[in-house]
Amino acid sequence: MSPINETHDPALRSWVDSANRPDHDFPIQNLPFASFRRRGRDEPWRGGVAIGDAIVDLAALHRVQPFEGVAAQALAAAAQPQLNELMALGPAHWSALRLALSRALREGSAQRAVVEPCLVDQAEAEYGLPARIGDYTDFYTGIHHATAVGKLFRPDNPLLPNYKWVPIGYHGRSSSIGVSGQTFRRPLGQTKGPQDAAPRFGPCQRLDYELELGVFVGPGNALGEPIPMAEAEDHVFGVVLLNDWSARDIQAWEYQPLGPFLAKNFATTISPWIVTLEALAPFRVPFAHPEGDPQPLPYLDSPDNRARGGIDLTLEVWLQTEAMRRAGEPPHRLMASNFADAYWTVAQMVAHHTVNGCNLQAGDLLGTGTQSGPGEDQGGSLLELTCGGQKPVRLPNGETRTFLQDGDTVLLRAYAAGAGRARIGFGECAGTVLPAPALVV
Amino acid sequence: MSPINETHDPALRSWVDSANRPDHDFPIQNLPFASFRRRGRDEPWRGGVAIGDAIVDLAALHRVQPFEGVAAQALAAAAQPQLNELMALGPAHWSALRLALSRALREGSAQRAVVEPCLVDQAEAEYGLPARIGDYTDFYTGIHHATAVGKLFRPDNPLLPNYKWVPIGYHGRSSSIGVSGQTFRRPLGQTKGPQDAAPRFGPCQRLDYELELGVFVGPGNALGEPIPMAEAEDHVFGVVLLNDWSARDIQAWEYQPLGPFLAKNFATTISPWIVTLEALAPFRVPFAHPEGDPQPLPYLDSPDNRARGGIDLTLEVWLQTEAMRRAGEPPHRLMASNFADAYWTVAQMVAHHTVNGCNLQAGDLLGTGTQSGPGEDQGGSLLELTCGGQKPVRLPNGETRTFLQDGDTVLLRAYAAGAGRARIGFGECAGTVLPAPALVV
């Protein structure tokens, strides 16, 4: 796991003024990566690093060769249209590039004159998927979510017997993953109520979001060679926000016995900026299963994981309806939770995924599952916040929601803060529901 | 759907003599595609077409430019290291290339002198994955498999209520798909018997194969634009054999509520040769759900699908243990079934997969699910053939199997034949189990 080093010093300030605002997502202690280009121009995608309101264009920076050694190698990889090559290099390269960028962007840096011409205004940018995502896996690490959803189906026995032993996961769809700003049509599908004699076909009536983090895999492992816990985080590049859009009515009818399929694979939205694990180092917290719960099996346990396997990271869901948008009203916050409440850590996700020999590849994406908090108002989906559609959520403008309506925009946000540390923000993960297409028969 | 044309004429003979043997998998009426190179040489992968014991090297053929128009465009795409570009072109291109190759390979063809130098002996070749597989989906269309496996868990109610309405599917793992000849280590994992107080960790004890077909997707669809039944087969390039290796004990403990994960994603093996849907045109058969069963919803129905949605294709599983291999004994056939017994067709898999707007991409792979026949001796997995491990299978050399042992090689084979038509074979899909790795903790 990444140690604390000079790049985390909360006293650091950048010559990019906007990065020094105390409430900014992207201070010099963050330095997240994205794939970007300037909107409306015929120019290639390339890697960028956020600093305040600006982006360091890593392709432009690479052309002036400001760094040496492994930092220069990492910069060359980060200048590519997507970040798979950078991800494949591993922690020593990532850390060297972070240190070089941190030093170059600090107040008083001698490299300012070299770096400043490489800045692009974020307001001018559009973002692409930061990596070619070979495989996308979604875990289920939010025990409060698993319990709340389980209660809707099995009031007396909400958690299945495997939950506290197995970091439950399943494979998702890579092709329909989009970056913040994604719009998608309400899915069509089969649904069947418990009283219905036969299923009906039509637009989903119980469309929902799920608040998750997405973990980008760094160097992969060879088929048949599990990654042990002690090395797991060396295989993790960083973290994004992830909205696992879900069609609850389609899911209820289709998911037995092989799991969710069309209920999930119509769209998944991630935030463009990958916050590195190294940037989050000051916010690592001890991890333990509650007393009385089974302790992790040895292949899911390590001293480091117990000491600081968790991440103290606040997660939020915001909603802006079409009416709110037209009236110029800002998004409304629906809930907040913390990733420190997850039942399994990022390292455990990696170790479990590979223990059978399954091979991860650089750029693979691992979803954490919905991160609900312990409180009733901390559900990470509408299914939870509305008790399965029974208790509508009321919005400031008087509108209510049980599930999502056409035109609704859902925004996820996250930040780590406190204890005198610089605030590490994630930017935004926004997605908007469009009407269903005409029925096809 | 592909019509019958001159390329299917059973009277056609090739100037490649081996292709004219009546029992050959690769007569001139077949012309399947693979990605290949010669073993032990430092040369690039490229597309090839099987003809008898030979391969037409499509990169070499492309260099001499023997064809014109769309056939020439298709040949240029097929000369690439993998076949995604060819798959993306669509049926008009595929059909033109097939016709051009058929004419060039016929007895008496004026193009023999141009094509013959482009032949490579199959004995010299090794095969790669025929496409970059973006997403891999596995369906569950074998109703006899679903019933037999369901009986093991729920004797009175083997089929779940959604089975006859929904072409059940789930997402699988792309990274661990290998081509025939693949070896893989027995997976480690958590298992728990019904009487055990806690799970244990160790090598899988109930390792199994599954007999499936794999369907390679041709042109994809845009996100949000479902593919209707009438167009579904225009999005299908062809078919391979697929072995969905399965760890039954890991699966039983992990699969609730999100489906199989580590029980499947350690390895999937496919045959190298993609038999095109056009080659199978003479073997298309009517499709209908049994009388009294629900009829397909309109989005899963079409006149063409009813008239000839099925494929009359014999499927076989063969086993060769390490002891048999050492003794020079040939593989032993464990069972045979027919894809015409599937409960859902290839077109229905495509229409269902996309009805919610999910986007398919050229080179995506769709597994059909295990193809068991109606008879007790027609189980497409050992789980079925041994009644859940209760009745061992006896091999000719006296060995028995409930589940797979280290060193076992499983071979899948398939062919369409009969009614005076040329035999269309699939070649072989072989995979071998290696011992588990040392425990990692």
**Buried b or exposed e, range A12-46, using 16+ CB within 10 angstroms:** bbbbbeebbeeebbbbbbbbbbbbbbeeeeeeebb
Closest CB from B204, B267, B356 relative to A187: B356
| Rounded Cα–Cα distance for residues A93 and A74 (Å) | 6
pLDDT at B72: 98
Please write the tens of the pLDDT for every residue from B112-150.
999 999 999 999 999 999 999 999 999 999 999 999 999
Classify residue B240: in a domain, yes or no: yes
**Both A18 and A163 in a single domain?**
no
**Both B121 and B164 in a single domain?**
no
Classify residue B2: in a domain, yes or no: no
**Both B367 and B276 in a single domain?**
yes
With a cut of 60, say whether residue B440 has pLDDT above it: no
The secondary structure element, H or E, covering residue B308 is helix B303-308
Closest CB from A168, A299, A358 relative to B266: A358
pLDDT at B438: 87
Neighbours of B183 (CB within 10 A): 15
Query: Hunting for tokens 């280290």 — which residue is that?
Result: B406
Using the beta-carbon criterion (under 8 Å), do A434 and B224 form an inter-chain contact? yes
**CA atoms within a 13 Å half-sphere pointing along the CA-CB vector of B154:** 9
Residue type, position A127, single letter: Y
Please write the tens of the pLDDT for every residue from B166-187.
999 999 999 999 999 999 999 9
Let me know: does A283 contact A313? Beta carbons within 8 Å.
yes
Q: Distance from A237 to chain B by nearest Cα, in Å?
A: 19
Q: Distance from B320 to chain A by nearest Cα, in Å?
A: 22
| Rounded Cα–Cα distance for residues B273 and B276 (Å) | 9
What share of chain A has pLDDT > 70, as a percent? Answer: 100
With a cut of 90, say whether residue A116 has pLDDT above it: yes
**Both A65 and A94 in a single domain?**
yes
Please write the tens of the pLDDT for every residue from A345-384.
999 999 999 999 999 999 999 999 999 999 999 999 999 9
B306-329 average pLDDT score? 98
Mutate to test the interface with A, among B249, B253, B261, B350 (most CBs of A within 10 A): B261
B-contacting residues in A 17-76 (Cβ below 8 Å): none
Using the beta-carbon criterion (under 8 Å), do B259 and A262 form an inter-chain contact? no
A171 touches B at CB < 8 Å = yes
CB proximity list for B404: less than 8 A, separation 6 or greater: B207, B208, B209, B382, B410, B433
With a cut of 90, say whether residue A398 has pLDDT above it: yes
B299 contacts on A by Cβ (under 8 Å): 188, 201, 439-441
Using the beta-carbon criterion (under 8 Å), do B171 and A265 form an inter-chain contact? yes
**Both A116 and A235 in a single domain?**
no
**Both B160 and B70 in a single domain?**
no
Alpha helices in B184-282 (DSSP H): 229-232, 248-254
Using the beta-carbon criterion (under 8 Å), do B255 and A259 form an inter-chain contact? yes
Using the beta-carbon criterion (under 8 Å), do A201 and B297 form an inter-chain contact? yes
Q: Distance from B61 to chain A by nearest Cα, in Å?
A: 32
B-contacting residues in A 280-319 (Cβ below 8 Å): 294, 297-299
CB proximity list for B291: less than 8 A, separation 6 or greater: none
Please write the tens of the pLDDT for every residue from B397-434.
999 999 999 999 999 999 999 989 999 999 999 999 99
Predicted ipTM?
Answer: 0.97
Classify residue B439: in a domain, yes or no: no
Provide φ and ψ at A57, rounded to 5°: -75, 105
**Both B301 and B235 in a single domain?**
yes
CATH code of the domain containing B358: 3.90.850.10
Using the beta-carbon criterion (under 8 Å), do B358 and A262 form an inter-chain contact? yes
A212 touches B at CB < 8 Å = no
Closest C-alpha to B338, from B311, B374, B370, B313: B313
Q: Two tokens at B238?
A: 């062809």
With a cut of 80, say whether residue A440 has pLDDT above it: no
**Both B254 and B141 in a single domain?**
yes
**B171 DSSP β-pair partners:** A171, B137
Classify residue A346: in a domain, yes or no: yes
**DSSP 8-state assignment for residue B14:** B
Using the beta-carbon criterion (under 8 Å), do A261 and B168 form an inter-chain contact? yes
Please write the tens of the pLDDT for every residue from A298-355.
999 999 999 999 999 999 999 999 999 999 999 999 999 999 999 999 999 999 999 9
Banded model confidence at residue A441, pLDDT cuts 50, 70, 90: low
Q: Two tokens at A414?
A: 């996250």
**Both B51 and B121 in a single domain?**
yes
Q: Which of B128, B158, B187 represents a domain boundary (last residue)?
A: B128
Using the beta-carbon criterion (under 8 Å), do B437 and A176 form an inter-chain contact? no
CB proximity list for A234: less than 8 A, separation 6 or greater: A90, A91, A218, A219
Using the beta-carbon criterion (under 8 Å), do A226 and B440 form an inter-chain contact? yes
Please write the tens of the pLDDT for every residue from A402-430.
999 999 999 999 999 998 999 999 999 99
With a cut of 80, say whether residue A195 has pLDDT above it: yes
**Both A153 and A77 in a single domain?**
no
A232-236 average pLDDT score? 98
Q: Distance from B165 to chain A by nearest Cα, in Å?
A: 8
Closest residue in A to B229 (Cα–Cα): A441
pLDDT at B155: 83
**B430 DSSP β-pair partners:** B411
Classify residue B3: in a domain, yes or no: no
Neighbours of A441 (CB within 10 A): 14
Classify residue A1: in a domain, yes or no: no
Average pLDDT, chain B: 97
Q: Which of A95, A128, A161 represents a domain boundary (last residue)?
A: A128
With a cut of 90, say whether residue B194 has pLDDT above it: no
Q: Distance from A133 to chain B by nearest Cα, in Å?
A: 9
Q: For chain A, what is the domain count?
A: 2
With a cut of 70, say whether residue A294 has pLDDT above it: yes
Identify the domain containing residue A79 by its residue range. Answer: 13-128
pLDDT at B441: 54
Classify residue B440: in a domain, yes or no: no
pLDDT at A156: 83
| Rounded Cα–Cα distance for residues B234 and B91 (Å) | 6
Least confident of A185-189, A435-439, B89-93, B120-124: A435-439
Using the beta-carbon criterion (under 8 Å), do B259 and A257 form an inter-chain contact? yes
| Rounded Cα–Cα distance for residues B274 and B129 (Å) | 10
Q: Which of B97, B128, B159 represents a domain boundary (last residue)?
A: B128
With a cut of 80, say whether residue B35 has pLDDT above it: yes
Neighbours of A103 (CB within 10 A): 17
Q: Two tokens at B4?
A: 């019958």
Closest CB from A135, A178, A185 relative to B175: A135
Please write the tens of the pLDDT for every residue from B223-236.
999 999 999 999 99
Classify residue B277: in a domain, yes or no: yes
With a cut of 90, say whether residue A289 has pLDDT above it: yes
CB proximity list for A219: less than 8 A, separation 6 or greater: A87, A88, A89, A90, A234, A235, A362
**Both A177 and A323 in a single domain?**
yes
- The alpha carbon of B127 is separated from its chain's Cα centroid by a whole number of angstroms, namely 15
Closest residue in A to B253 (Cα–Cα): A162
pLDDT at A384: 97
**Both B252 and B141 in a single domain?**
yes
Q: Distance from A202 to chain B by nearest Cα, in Å?
A: 10
Closest CB from A162, A172, A228 relative to B171: A172
With a cut of 70, say whether residue B220 has pLDDT above it: yes
CATH code of the domain containing A20: 2.30.30.230
Average pLDDT, chain A: 97
B101-106 average pLDDT score? 98
A219 touches B at CB < 8 Å = no
B-contacting residues in A 222-281 (Cβ below 8 Å): 223-226, 228, 247, 250, 253-262, 265-267
A138 contacts on B by Cβ (under 8 Å): 258
Q: Does the active-site annotation cover A289?
A: no
Using the beta-carbon criterion (under 8 Å), do B262 and A134 form an inter-chain contact? no
Let me know: does A60 contact A44? Beta carbons within 8 Å.
no
pLDDT at A152: 87
